[in-house]
Structure 1
C-alpha cells in the first residue's frame, strides 16, 4: 500500500470520526501513542535507563505523561516537567497526569532554570502537532540548551510546523531531534523543507486507526506497473523528440536523450540546429538526429504523429528562437517536458507562456526557475513564517499547477509533483533514501529525460514524473558518492532488473 502523508487537520478529523463513532476513546488513543513512543525509545536506546520528559499543555503533553509512566514501570528513572497550567489540561491529558502523579511528581518548567537532570534521553512532548506559533521564550530557552542531548520528539520537534516542515520562528529556531515518533501515518512536515533536518529519524506507531484515501502519496516505489507500458515494437514504446541548443550547448540534451532511451522510449531523436549536428553525431549512436533550424521546421516535423513526447529546455538558450520553439511544441498538444531555459526564456512574458500551456505539459523548475515563472507563489514560500500551518512547497506546487493549468515538478530533496486538478505526490530523497551526491551538474537534465522517456511510453503525466523521481534517486543510491550525471542512465537497467522488468 502506498504510504500517504497527512496534514494535522486530516489526522485530527480521523481521530474525531473514530471517537464519535464509539470505536475508540481519546484515552485509549493516548495510551497506545505513549506506549508506542516508550517502545521506540527502548528500541533505539538499548541499555539506557534515564529519561527527562518535557510535557506541554495539550494532548501532546498527555502522550508525554503516558511515556513517562510506561518507562517508569519498566524500570527507568524518569523526571517529568510540565510547561503551562496543570489545571487547564484537556480531560484525557489530565487523566494521564493523575496516573503519572501516582508514580512521580510533575515539576514546573521553571525548575529547569537550574539545569537539566542527568539523563540518557530527553522526550519532547511539549506542543507536537498542535503548535501553530513560535515557542514561547522560556520554552525556547530550555530547548536551546538541549543541543548535545539525545532527543526523542513526540509527533514533531518543538518549533516545527507539522504541515510544512518550516521553522515557526527564525529567531527561536526549532529543536533538532534524533528520533521523531509519530502515529498512524507520517505528516507532511516530516518530509518537507526543514523537517528531515530536525526530525532525525522517523518511527510511525500504529494506534489502531483505519487506513483511508486521505493524504498525499509518498513515492517509495513506481506509482504504476512499468511492465504494462512495454510494447512489442519500438513505436509501441513511443518516440521522444528532444530539442538541443547550438554548437557547444548540446551536452545537457544528450544527457536527457540517453536517459529517455534508457527509460524505455522505443526511439529517441534530438533535434538541433544544423551547425550542431556534427558535434552530437560524434557522440551518439542509438539516438537519432534531425536538423531543426527554427520553429517552422519543428512544425513540419511534428506532423509525424508518432512523436509521442517532447522535451525542451536543457541547453536550449533563452532568446526569441527558444520562445518560438516552445510555443510551437506546445501547439502540437503532445506530452511535453519544459525544463531549464524553456522556463527562463519566458520570465519577462509569463502571460504568453501560461496561455500556451496545456494539461499534458510538465514544468520541472528548481527553486530559482520557479521564482521566475511563479513569482507570487515563490514570494509566499520565502516569506517569514508568522504562524502555522505555514505555506509549504506542496502548497506552492499546487498553486503553480492550478495557475498554469499544467503539471509542475518542483525539484529538491523534497520534490513535489502537482497536477492542475489538485492531485499531488511527494518524492523525498531524505532519511534512508538520501542521495546528496545528486547535487551535481547535469542530474536535472537526466531527470527531464527520464520523465520524457516514460511519457513517450504512455504513462500519465503525474505518474511518469513521480516515477522518474524515484528511478533517479534509486540509480543515485546504487552508484553512491562520486556519482556524475552520466552514471544515472547507465545504472537504470540494474534498477529495472531489480523491479523484475
Structure 2
C-alpha cells in the first residue's frame, strides 16, 4: 500500500530519477531549463547558508552535474561573488545542456589538477552526481583528497562526488560535504551510510519536475516519514475502549533478566496498545510484580501454559527475545505463537535462537500470514542489529551490496518484515517495499533501546496496523522520541517521551498538509 501523500517520501534510484527527467523533458520542459533551476537552487543555498563566502571555487565534472556547476557559477558571479571553475575536462568537450551552461558562463575554466582549496571561502562540488557507478580515480580523486583535507566548507550538487546514489557506498574517494542540494526527490544514497554522513544536511529543491511523473514508476523505496504510513495507523476514537486497541504480550526472561521485557512492555503501553501483559516464568513473577503497575502479569512456564493463554484471542501481538534466553524454549514459544495466527516481534535472544536453523520458523511465519493473522501479512517482524542479522542470514550478510539490498533479500526469504537497525535503519517487506529511516540521534546507541523499539512495533500490531507500516511507524516514533529527549538519553527515558510524539502525529493526521 502506498498512500497518495506518501509520494513525497519516495526515494528514487538514479535510473528512476533519469526517467523522471526524461518524462519531464518529453512533456515540454527543456533540459537546460531544469539545469538552470537546479543552479538557482544551489545559488540560493549558498546565499542563505554562506553569505560571507566571497571567493568560491566550483569543481565541474564531464556531465550534467558539471553543467549545474557552470550555471551556478554564472549566477553567483552575477550576484557579486568571485568564482573560479576547475573542470575535469575542458568546456569544449562538454555536450548537450552542460555545453550550453559552460558557454553561458563564458569565463575561464582551470584544469582540476590546479585546484587548491586553501585559497577559497567555499567550494561547490559538481564533479559527479548520483548516477556514478565506478570508483573515482586520477585527477578527480586527487582533487577530492585535497578538498577533504582543507578547512573550506563544501556544498555538493545532487550528491557528494564518489557516493553511489543507489547504495550510499563510497566509490573510491568521496567528498565529505557540509550541505547537499538535490532535486525533486532524494535517492537512497542520501540516507544510507556512509552517504548519509557524507551529505551533511540535504535540501530537496523543486525544479519543476511534476509529481505526476511518478505515476509511471513503481515506487518501492521510501524515506521513513509519517506521510508514508500515517494513513494506516488506527488512532483512538471517542467511542472506543481499551480492547479496541489490542492486547500486547511481552515474554519475560528469568528472575535476573527481567528488565528488558519490562522496557518493551512499557513501550508497548505508551505506544498505544490498550492492554499489555508480561508472560513470566514462575521464578521471575515476584521480580516482575515488584515493578509493574498498569502492565499486567501472567505466569507462563512452558508451551502448555502458553497454549492455554492463546485460547484468549484478545492476546494479539507478542514480543519474544528481550532478556528471554537463547535456545529451544525460545524457538518453541515463537512457533507456538505463529501457529496460533498471532503477530510476533522477534528480537534479541529470539533472533539468536534461530541461528543455523531458521527455516522452520520462516515457514510458520508464512503460514500465519496467509490469512490467520488479523493484522495483515506478514505475521512476523524481525528486528536485528548487524550482528544478529549475520547470525540469522550469514550468506546474505556476506554479499556485496547495500544495507537496503540485504534487508530486502532477508525479508523475501523469511516471509517477514525485517528491521535492520542502525543509524540508517532499513525496514523491508517481503513484497520488496522498503523504507530508510531519516531521523534519530547517536544517543540511541545505548543498552535497552532495541527492547523499547520491539515494544513499539508490538503496540502498532496490537492496534491492527499492517506489519510493514507498523514497523515503519515504530522506528520513526522511536527516533523522534530520542530527538525530543536529546543528550544523555537512556532507554528508560524513551517511553516517557512518547506522549509528545503522539501529539505530533495527531496534529499531522488532523492537518496533513500543514
Instruction: Name the TM-score, length of structure 1 as normaliser.
Output: 0.92
Correspondent of 2:352 among 317, 329, 344 = 344
For 2:120 and 2:90, the matched residues in 1 are separated by: 25
What are the superposed Cα offsets for residues 173-201 of structure 1, whole Å, 9 maximum, x if unpaired?
31101111111111111111112211111
What are the superposed Cα offsets for residues 289-334 of structure 1, whole Å, 9 maximum, x if unpaired?
1111112221221111111111111111111111111111121121
The reply on whether 1:271 has 2:279 as its aligned counterpart is: yes
Structure 1 gaps, min length 5:
384-390
For 1:131 and 1:180, the matched residues in 2 are separated by: 16
Tell me, what secondary structure is at the counterpart of 1:315? coil
Correspondent of 1:448 among 454, 462, 469 = 454
Which aligned pairs between 1:75-90 and structure 2 lie closer than 5 A?
Answer: 75-90=80-95
- Preserved contact between residue 237 and residue 266 of structure 1 (Cα < 8 Å): yes
The reply on whether 1:25 has 2:22 as its aligned counterpart is: no
- Preserved contact between residue 90 and residue 109 of structure 2 (Cα < 8 Å): no
- Preserved contact between residue 178 and residue 199 of structure 1 (Cα < 8 Å): yes
- Preserved contact between residue 117 and residue 152 of structure 2 (Cα < 8 Å): no
Partner of 2:419: 409
Partner of 1:166: 169
Correspondent of 1:62 among 64, 67, 71 = 67
For 1:483 and 1:406, the matched residues in 2 are separated by: 30
For 1:440 and 1:264, the matched residues in 2 are separated by: 24
- Preserved contact between residue 40 and residue 72 of structure 2 (Cα < 8 Å): yes
For 1:69 and 1:117, the matched residues in 2 are separated by: 22
Partner of 1:425: 435
For 1:264 and 1:414, the matched residues in 2 are separated by: 25
Shift of 1:352: 2.3
Say if 1:288 and 1:82 are closer, same or farther in 2 by CA, change over 3 A. same
What are the superposed Cα offsets for residues 334-388 of structure 1, whole Å, 9 maximum, x if unpaired?
11101111110011212223222232211111111111111222112xx4xxxxx
- Preserved contact between residue 229 and residue 459 of structure 1 (Cα < 8 Å): no
Partner of 2:224: 219
Partner of 2:191: 191
Structure 2 gaps, min length 5:
367-377, 508-514
Which aligned pairs between 1:445-484 and structure 2 lie closer than 5 A?
Answer: 445-484=451-490
For 2:127 and 2:436, the matched residues in 1 are separated by: 28
Which aligned pairs between 1:250-329 and structure 2 lie closer than 5 A?
Answer: 250-329=258-337
Shift of 1:236: 1.4
What are the superposed Cα offsets for residues 40-59 of structure 1, whole Å, 9 maximum, x if unpaired?
11111113221111111111
For 2:485 and 2:46, the matched residues in 1 are separated by: 33
- Preserved contact between residue 90 and residue 111 of structure 2 (Cα < 8 Å): no
Q: Which runs of 4+ in 1 moved over 6 A?
A: none
The reply on whether 1:93 has 2:98 as its aligned counterpart is: yes
Shift of 1:227: 5.8
For 1:61 and 1:160, the matched residues in 2 are separated by: 16
Correspondent of 2:14 among 8, 14, 39 = 8
Choose 345-354 or 11-20, whichever is displaced more: 345-354
For 2:438 and 2:35, the matched residues in 1 are separated by: 29
How many residues align? The count is: 480
- Preserved contact between residue 7 and residue 215 of structure 1 (Cα < 8 Å): no
Partner of 2:114: 111
Shift of 1:219: 2.5
Partner of 1:129: 130
For 2:282 and 2:257, the matched residues in 1 are separated by: 13
Partner of 1:393: 403
- Preserved contact between residue 182 and residue 203 of structure 1 (Cα < 8 Å): yes
Instruction: Name the TM-score, length of structure 2 as normaliser.
Output: 0.90
Partner of 1:200: 200
Partner of 1:73: 78
Partner of 2:210: 210
